[in-house]
Amino acid sequence: MKEMKIYSWGSNSNGQLGQGIKTESVDIPSLVTISPELDQNMETAFFYGGGNHSFILTVRGRVYGVGLNSSGQLCIPNHAEVSFTSIEKLSAQTITSVACGWDFSIFLTNQGALYGCGSNKFGQLLHSSLSVQNSLQAIAAPSEHKYAQISAGMRYVAAVTVQGSLHTWGSDRYISANQSTGMTDIVKVACGQHHISTLDAAGNLMSWGANRYGQCGQNPDVFKVLSEPSSVALPKHCGKIVDVVSGWTHTMALTEFGEVYTWGRNTYGQLGRSKEQSDFRPLKVLLPGNIKCIAAGSEHSMALDENGELWTWGWNEHGSCGNGTQIDQFFPQNIAHHFQGIICSIGSGAGHCFALVQC
């Protein structure tokens, strides 16, 4: 029987890597020691991260959290955890997805319901009477809608309903709740720091919000802010877009041919290009092999190919690229040699990363 292991790397100032310690950075992917209970549920796992906290979601719908808990974003009584801890307040629910903002967390159940915890200072939990929410809060959907997918920006939330419409709430000076009115057939939403991207069933990509670095796919010399959803045009030969993810100020798309396109800010190399200036035009990242999964941190990027090889690039001050240095990486670099096995899934927080490895 194959054994599954968790590796983590990057920023760890609040123990968000789950390695049992706090340290400014972990430059090389390192093994995470997990409880026997979690180990028994590790046949498949998914990873989610916020500013300084992280979650593991098992295939059976159980959630385990670690890291900073100063606003209650872990749904546990302690101020912080350095090892992954079961979120008992969610034990009665089967969770299918998690979205993490800077200091709050949103959980999607298999019944299409949402729960949240952490800061509600900007209305992220849709609870008007509390500035900070330290316990689990049910989030009521308008008109009894059920949700299918969720994402979180720094201080706001976007959720796709099973009908393919989009609901947003929280507070962001560039994003308002009525901007997505009339959009249909949405299958994926990805939130950046101050911008949103949506993907519909036909593979059409739309973005709006802050566009200072071209993260919405429009020329920032003309549009500093997109007040309405605007189409993002990828090269015609790229095929259908099948996934979109977002960092704080850059966006990534995965196509049906396993190719990755990026646009937005490139100050730290997060676009995977040699030049440091930002670029609103989606261009292909030079990656060998067929990419099956992409992930973005605040200012770094990851791509996992069909052979289980992991490529990283971008901001690396705290070791987010996992290449043993703290030098920003402008081109994709293969870090698979740091793992003793085949990488099955990946995830990222603001400056920290995770991988599930089959040994």
Q: What is the pLDDT of residues 72-111, one digit of tens each?
A: 999 998 777 899 999 999 999 999 999 999 999 999 999 9
Q: What is the pLDDT of residue 132?
A: 59
Q: What is the pLDDT of residue 134?
A: 64
Q: How far apart are CA 338 and CA 113, in angstroms?
A: 39
Q: What is the pLDDT of residue 133?
A: 59
Give how far Cα 186 sits from Cα of 159, 165, 175, 200, 320, Å: 10, 6, 18, 4, 31
Number of C-beta neighbours around residue 277 at 10 A: 11
Q: What is the pLDDT of residue 275?
A: 82
Length of the chain: 359
Q: How far apart are CA 216 and CA 175, in angstroms?
A: 12
Radius of gyration of the chain, Cα coordinates, nearest whole angstrom: 19
Q: Nearest to residue 175, comparing CAs of 197, 160, 145, 150?
A: 197
Q: How far apart are CA 216 and CA 209, in angstroms?
A: 7
- The verdict on pTM exceeding 0.85 is yes
Place of tokens 């916020």: 50
For each of the chain's 359 residues, which pLDDT tens digit applies? 578 999 999 999 999 999 999 999 999 999 999 999 898 888 889 999 999 999 999 999 999 999 999 999 999 987 778 999 999 999 999 999 999 999 999 999 999 999 999 999 999 998 776 655 567 889 887 777 899 999 999 999 999 999 999 999 998 889 987 777 778 999 999 999 999 999 999 999 999 999 999 999 999 999 999 999 999 999 989 999 999 999 999 999 999 999 999 999 999 999 999 888 889 999 999 998 799 999 999 999 999 999 999 999 999 999 999 999 999 999 999 999 999 899 999 999 999 999 999 98
Q: What is the pLDDT of residue 14?
A: 96
Give the dihedral of Cα atoms 314, 317, 319, 325; nearest 10 deg. 90
Half-sphere exposure of 204 (CA within 13 A, CB side): 11
Q: What is the pLDDT of residues 122-150, one digit of tens each?
A: 999 987 766 555 678 898 877 778 999 99
Full strand arrangement of the beta sheet holding 4-12: 23-31, 4-12, 352-358, 342-348
Q: What is the pLDDT of residue 250?
A: 98
